[in-house]
Structure 1
Amino acid sequence: MNVSIIGTAGVPSKYGGFETLAENLAKFQSSSNKYTIFCSSKIYTIKKEEYLNAKLKYINLKPNGISSIIYDIIAMLQSLNTNIMLVLGISGAIFFPIIKLLYHGIIITNIDGIEWKRSKWNVLVQFYLHLSEEMAIKYSDIIIGDNKGIIDYVKETYNKVAILIEYGADHIQKIGCDNELFNKKYPFNKKKYAIGIYRIEPENNIHLILEAFARQKSIELVIVGNWKNSKYGLSLIERYSKFSHIYLLDQIYDYKDIGFLRTRAFLNVHGHSRGGTNPSLVEAMYFGLPILAFDCIYNRYTTENQCIYWSSAEELYNYLLQLNEKKLNDIGEKMELIADNRYRWSIIASKYEELYQTYDNH
């Protein structure tokens, strides 16, 4: 089966759930399947023909923002001779009705989260994303959701059945705490700290996390994110950078750095309230970190109702005041066990391969 992966910035993965998914699908591909992954030449100036036995094709557009629509459409038009289009996200789904007239293969769409409900979009963008979601659900041969909350939403809203396939987490490895280079780079690592890795957006509740941690001094807070990409992020920097126990780090693209920071962390605080199975959450679980997660259906499903949940800055602050290390250790062990059973890339890749095989047999 020739499978084209559409909707990512490309590989090697630099920073993003879909890019990491594409890379690991290629890494664990069977001999009976061949991937083609579309990449942005705006990001990958050095163009490889192959990576992990996957063929790479380049499009001279940015893979995000409004240009992502054209980016995905071009990738679809260049995939008409494949058996399967695996479309990650719904940016170009508005074009599905036309593609279905031209294409004789199977369209599989991973719809990601419920994008049109995100507060960062204006009304016009929300309208477009809602319409794209409808087109994706209507015209895809199969829909993938990465969380039971998404599966239920597709069923309740569109009366359609979606297939549950989550994300892996074992692409980031633990780094020894005696690493001299990282000890110098991140001197706070000797202290007891909580870590969070996010896109800096209101619906990820970073403002609530910062408010809660600013009120106490016993646990340091390290947040990694794209602070300078929005007024929201800049306003948080202005307000909280003065706190000596709070570290607001810019985006980190090196998995070794992320591995070290997670290895040294005392716990993980997770604020995402929308989306589905969030990659940064399952990665923290894989490291066996105790989780303090925002209380929503997606996070509860991902963690199997086994961690601590909060819904306000006050509630999070009160939890921080009464943390019990034995309870945290128990939570961490449960998180690691869940991740090992559900969030390994070999498991995730095999589920995609089973889908392809189902269509191959028909």
Structure 2
Amino acid sequence: MANENRHRIAILGCVGVPARYGGFETLADNLARFHADTNRPEALSIYCSRPAYPDQPEVFGKAKLRYSRFRANGASSVVYDAATLRDAIRCGTDVALMLGVSGAVALPVLARQGTRIITHVDGLEWRRGKWSRPARAFLRWSEGLAVRHSDAVIADSSAIADHLRHDYGVEAEVIAYGGDHASAAPQPPSAAPPDLPEGYALALCRIEPENNVDMILAAFTDAAKPLVFVGNWGDNAYGRALKARFRNVPHLQLLDSIYAPGPLFALRQGASAYIHGHSAGGTNPALVEMMHIGHPIFAFDCVFNRLATQDAARYFTDTASLVAALSTPMTAEQGTALQRIAQRDYTWAKVGAQYFDLFDRLAAR
């Protein structure tokens, strides 16, 4: 491509790269890898939270890393997102991708100086039970600002796009997540955590009410089935209470969050099935990652999970229905069907091409 097409692209709104936290970080990480692996011509920058990266590397792949002193999560995310967006505009960015709506309060007042802004609205954050009523009201207001004041909006699920069309009259770009990185064996290989129960099912998520953690733990307790559940148990009162309640159930193993690729890969590969309790949000990254592994999946019955798995999983709505579902395990062929869906629809090659096509279209306006 010609040099005049070397557009300046900035990604902001995540903790940073390399990914160590959640779905947005994994998205930024893999967009940077796609950019480098395909030798894209754009000048790519990614904003990172300095407290999370004390070593502060200057580049990741071919992307330049820029650091903010603010933390990227919690209430400070509003300042973090707004400050990094302001800096991206000052640096002459052609297209800024905002991951999440926290910084949308700045959109009506910032002088953009030609910068095009894309907002990834994430899931319906204002529906999440972990937020207080004032926080949910703020997030709903921020969602409206983001949709009305962005040059383009991304939804990771057609159900989210339907909501944006119905509530705001806006047509969103629907781009899901890739998950094929989860099926790539790290080198050198690593072992899974020791003493895992034989034939265990795996659950892996942030320990929050809308992920139905209590429902899953109660079902496996009642069914007397082995479960390994990985999450940030100590980060909130909900998680601490559940860990205290279920920690002595013999066939349950509650592990703290695991981010290292080697042990995480071994843990996923060794599972007999995956249990997905998320009820809010769109196409969940953890779900499409596990679809690539090829295990049977039991998912909470909501429109987002049915769309992501294309009705090929087994679904539950409460403790009793999960116990009933576990009594007749899914077959290996059902896991293979989910894997085929993932290999067709949820790869970083496909997702990366969609993002950079959108960047180029906006930059060329």
TM norm structure 2: 0.94
Distance 1:110 1:359 in 2: 15
Count of matched residue pairs: 352
Distance 1:75 1:112 in 2: 18
Match of 2:341 among 315, 338, 357: 338
Aligned-residue RMSD, C-alpha:
1.4
Corresponding residue for residue 214 of structure 1: 221
Task: Indicate yes or no: 2:55 matched with 1:49.
Answer: no
Match of 1:146 among 146, 151, 156: 156
Corresponding residue for residue 264 of structure 1: 270
Aligned with 2:223: secondary structure? coil
| CA-CA distance at 1:244 after TM superposition | 1.0
Distance 2:208 2:59 in 1: 35
Corresponding residue for residue 182 of structure 2: 172
Corresponding residue for residue 94 of structure 1: 105
| CA-CA distance at 1:122 after TM superposition | 1.0
Aligned with 1:3: secondary structure? strand
What's the CA shift string for 1:259-315, capped at 9, x where partnerless? Answer: 101101000010000011111101110000111000000000000011101101000
| CA-CA distance at 1:357 after TM superposition | 2.1
Residues 1-362 of structure 1 mapped to structure 2, 5 A cutoff: 1-29=7-35, 30-80=39-89, 81-99=92-110, 101-173=111-183, 175=185, 182=191, 185-188=193-196, 191-217=198-224, 219-323=225-329, 327-362=330-365
CA contact (8 A) 2:94 2:116 kept: yes
Distance 2:184 2:42 in 1: 31
Distance 2:184 2:196 in 1: 18
Distance 2:74 2:358 in 1: 30
| CA-CA distance at 1:360 after TM superposition | 3.7
What letter corresponds to residue 109 of structure 2 in structure 1?
Answer: I
Runs of 4+ more than 3 Å apart: 173-176
**Structure 1 unpaired stretches of 5+:** none
Aligned with 1:187: secondary structure? coil
Distance 1:15 1:287 in 2: 20
Distance 2:50 2:221 in 1: 42
What letter corresponds to residue 188 of structure 1 in structure 2?
Answer: L
Distance 1:285 1:150 in 2: 21
What's the CA shift string for 1:202-259, capped at 9, x where partnerless? Answer: 1100111111100122x31011001111111111111111111101000111011111
Aligned with 2:88: secondary structure? coil
**Structure 2 unpaired stretches of 5+:** 1-6
Distance 1:73 1:46 in 2: 24
Aligned with 1:97: secondary structure? coil
Among all aligned residue pairs of Structure 1 and Structure 2, give the percentage whose two residues are the same amino acid: 38
Distance 2:102 2:237 in 1: 24
Distance 1:110 1:127 in 2: 19
Distance 1:10 1:196 in 2: 25
CA contact (8 A) 2:15 2:21 kept: no
What letter corresponds to residue 267 of structure 1 in structure 2?
Answer: A
| CA-CA distance at 1:174 after TM superposition | 5.3
Distance 2:280 2:298 in 1: 16
CA contact (8 A) 2:291 2:342 kept: yes
